[in-house]
């Protein structure tokens, strides 16, 4: 069974204090690993897709990396507007399988 575990559940950072969020996964052949951002009262917003170990993608202060067992979302010099819940999801290669989501990491950045 495909599974996604995210840690920590919640993270509180000072503005400018860099850190990383972890997404550990087990999947029967990875088609893609996804990162989403979700603000309160809104639906998840797509950030990145990673396909194979060693791949990295960046967007502003965010950088996502992928290994065969986990993905990291690195946040460099975060700002209060980066406060949100970050969701990780995986999609298996077999058939048209649905995405399996983790429970998310709730990030708070304090000015």
Partner 1 sequence: SAVISQKPSRDICQRGTSLTIQCQVDSQVTMMFWYRQQPGQSLTLIATANQGSEATYESGFVIDKFPISRPNLTFSTLTVSNMSPEDSSIYLCSVGGASGGAGANVLTFGAGSRLTVL
Hey, what are 37's tokens? 């951002």
- Element containing residue 96 per DSSP (H, E): none
Q: Contact between 101 and partner 1 (CB under 8 A)?
A: yes
Q: What residues are paired with 106 via a beta bridge?
A: 10, 85
Pick from 11, 84, 87, 109 the residue near partner 1 by CB under 8 A.
87
Shortest distance, position 80 Cβ to partner 1, whole Å: 22
- Please tell me the distance from the alpha carbon of residue 33 to that of residue 53, in angstroms, as a whole number: 10
| Residues of this chain that bind partner 1 (CB under 8 A) | 4, 31-32, 34, 41-46, 49, 51, 87, 89, 91, 93, 96, 98-104
């Amino acid at each position: 069974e495909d599974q996604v575990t995210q840690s920590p559940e919640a993270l509180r950072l000072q503005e400018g204090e860099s850190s990383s969020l972890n997404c550990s996964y087990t999947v029967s052949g990875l088609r893609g690993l996804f990162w989403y951002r979700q603000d309160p009262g809104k639906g998840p917003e797509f950030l990145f897709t990673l396909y194979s170990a060693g791949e990295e993608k960046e967007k502003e202060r965010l950088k996502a990396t992928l290994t065969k067992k986990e993905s990291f979302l690195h946040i460099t010099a975060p700002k209060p507007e980066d406060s949100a819940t970050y969701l990780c999801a995986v999609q298996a290669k077999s058939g048209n399988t649905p995405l399996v989501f983790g429970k998310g990491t709730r990030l708070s950045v304090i000015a």
